[in-house]
Structure 1
Amino acid sequence: MIELALRHALADLDIDVSLRSDARTLALFGNSGAGKTSILHAIAGLLVPQAGRVMLDGELLLDTARGVSLPIAQRRIGYVFQDGRLFPHLSVRHNLAYGATARDIAQPREFSTIVELLELAPLLERRPHTLSGGERQRVAIGRALLSHPRALLLDEPLTGLHAEARTQVLDHLRRLKRELRVFTVLVTHHADEVGALADEVVRIDAGRVVRQVPVAEFLARRAAVERGLRAEGRTEG
């Protein structure tokens, strides 16, 4: 469960959001520049908002009114950036192991499970510069999971990937959702990613929560809009 309320003024955007969700996978959906990534940063501790409160699974991570802001390392958040941000001087094996050793929880069985789920075994001795974009993202996801996070934050994890790689990574994320029980927040502006991964969707626009609905309702609304657009096109044609 997550509860948050944030107010923060950026150079070109004022964020003022409040939400609560019990969903296992929550999608923050909206156009680029809507404030979605800033919300992720506040959850992870990469951004301390001017005013805000974040509660995750009953633990207070942030409360600016009380002067509470847990350090990033104590929040136990696994963050996957758009570009993966792997350590270029380390092999895939050691990039993965970094997540576990950083928490001092090296567990061979867990390591093997993540390697198997993400199909990383053939890549373990390679360096990041030899990997494709999709392979780098799979390694980044594995590293985040091996830190044993209480929450996994995915910031546009499929952006910039070609169609085949995008499909492969999305398939792996579906598999992880089936096999692992990790609370996940997905930031995206692609409806197919929402439909494949999310249980609940929060629509963010210009730093505000526009709508919060179950994924089935989100998909039904999208389908209705698309039908309307097609009908208008036939009429105009």
Structure 2
Amino acid sequence: MPIRNVDLHCHISQQAPIPLEADFSCKAGEVLAVVGPSGGGKTTLLRMIAGLGSAQQGAIQSGDKTWFCHQKRINLSPQQRHIGYVPQHFGLFPHLTALENVISGLDHIAKHERKARALDWLERVNLHGLPARLPAQLSGGQRQRVALARALAREPAVLLLDEPFSAVDRETRERLYIELARLKSQLSIPVIMVTHDMNEALLLADKMILISQGKMLQQGKPFEVLYHPRNEIVARQMGLRNIFTAQVSGRDANANITWLKMGDQIIASDSAPDCEVGQTVRWVIPNQGIRFSAITSGRLCRSINKLDIMIDSMLVMGESVRIKACMAGSDEAFNMDVPTHLANKLNLQQGLATTIALKSEQVHILES
């Protein structure tokens, strides 16, 4: 069982060589995803937590133990921090077997205990029967499991994962997702995962941080950030494509509703931010908030946001169809991903005039 059960607190700041500002906590048993584009500071942040780099200002604390504090001139080594670290390309020793690679991370325990500990963790990551194989004799997914076993066998205070699934194919990646989700329930340590893959963060993380150009843009539960991005920069980084301009035509603070006028349409949002009637705002809706359905079924009748559209284009992408459609009375276009089976069932096709419904609770007004 893990020997630690403490939270990690990080507050760091620097201007050079890579600008970085970060202030967050990660609880024991929680997976925190650090998400952002390449060059945004994600790996730099992970290396600072690991003790492989130092910030100009700030502090990093694991429970009541200070790992780094610029003011007090404390800066523990990676060994003193007792972290588990899985680099992007596994970092295995090519001349050592899977078992020997795991044992190589166990120099902090007695020699006679190392083999049993290593075999136990290879078993836990479903690599029983392969301890004698060299990394070159293992698949990408198996090498990733060895790297994970080596990190976890240390019973670390914190587990750090740097783009942990980027070097394996999609099928292997999805199996590893299940493996990490299973292991997460057994771990009572903070897990910090750097990724540029938003789906990975939505699938695996309890909390996420969006970081770009060294700045933290927003943090929170993944789906909260997806449905309530702070501003347009966050919305675009979350992969949201339906971002529009509208005028505030009315507000009801008591009912928590804002009415937006876009073209000839009035759209209701279940939020009432501090804005004035007549003000121009930007708003966003995730793909999940847009519904196609047959009018005859009556499914759209309960929505107060029913919009007439014309389908401009359809692109089949395996199990889904990417649809671009213009709204009646406006130049604005909606971009939607619809399951292929539903598109076929509704007989959606280019040039079709139809109706969509927008979930008012997912019509989100962005900060200006």
* TM-score, scaled to structure 1: 0.89
CA-CA distance at 1:28 after TM superposition: 0.8
Q: Number of residues paired by the alignment?
A: 235
- Tell me, what secondary structure is at the counterpart of 1:120? coil
Task: Tell me the residue number matched to 2:208.
Answer: 201
Q: 86-95 or 51-60: which moved more?
A: 51-60
1:160 and 1:110 map into 2 onto residues whose CA distance is: 27
Q: 1:75 aligned to 76, 81, 106, which one?
A: 81
- Tell me, what secondary structure is at the counterpart of 1:186? strand
Q: Look up the equivalent residue of 1:18 and give its one-letter code.
A: D
Q: 1:63 aligned to 43, 61, 69, which one?
A: 69
- Asked which structure has the greater RCO (Cα within 8 Å, sep 6+), the reply is 1
Structure 1 residues 21 and 145: alpha-carbon distance in aligned structure 2, compared to 1, 3 A threshold:
closer
Structure 1 residues 119 and 57: alpha-carbon distance in aligned structure 2, compared to 1, 3 A threshold:
same
1:234 and 1:136 map into 2 onto residues whose CA distance is: 45
Structure 1 residues 215 and 58: alpha-carbon distance in aligned structure 2, compared to 1, 3 A threshold:
farther
Task: Tell me the residue number matched to 1:22.
Answer: 27
Identical-residue share of aligned pairs (%):
32
Q: State the Cα RMSD in Å.
A: 2.4
Note the residue ranges of structure 2 that are not aligned, 5 or more in a row.
1-6, 229-237, 241-284, 292-308, 310-322, 327-332, 334-349, 351-368
2:139 and 2:14 map into 1 onto residues whose CA distance is: 36
| Structure 2 residue 183 is matched with structure 1 residue 176 | yes
Structure 1 residues 209 and 166: alpha-carbon distance in aligned structure 2, compared to 1, 3 A threshold:
same
Q: 1:140 aligned to 143, 147, 168, which one?
A: 147
Q: Look up the equivalent residue of 1:233 and give its one-letter code.
A: K
2:122 and 2:219 map into 1 onto residues whose CA distance is: 34
Task: Tell me the residue number matched to 2:163.
Answer: 156
CA-CA distance at 1:161 after TM superposition: 1.3
1:87-123, Cα deviation, whole Å (9 max, x unpaired): 11110011111222x1115366644442222111132
1:15-34, Cα deviation, whole Å (9 max, x unpaired): 12222343621111111111
CA-CA distance at 1:135 after TM superposition: 1.1
Q: 2:101 aligned to 69, 79, 95, which one?
A: 95
* Structure (1/2) with the larger strand percentage: 2
Tell me, yes or no, if the aligned pair for 1:7 and 1:17 is still in contact at 8 Å. Answer: yes
Q: 182-191 or 147-156: which moved more?
A: 182-191
Task: Tell me the residue number matched to 2:56.
Answer: 50
2:50 and 2:24 map into 1 onto residues whose CA distance is: 16
Structure 1 residues 112 and 160: alpha-carbon distance in aligned structure 2, compared to 1, 3 A threshold:
closer
Decide which structure has the larger Cα Rg and report it.
2
Structure 1 residues 31 and 225: alpha-carbon distance in aligned structure 2, compared to 1, 3 A threshold:
farther
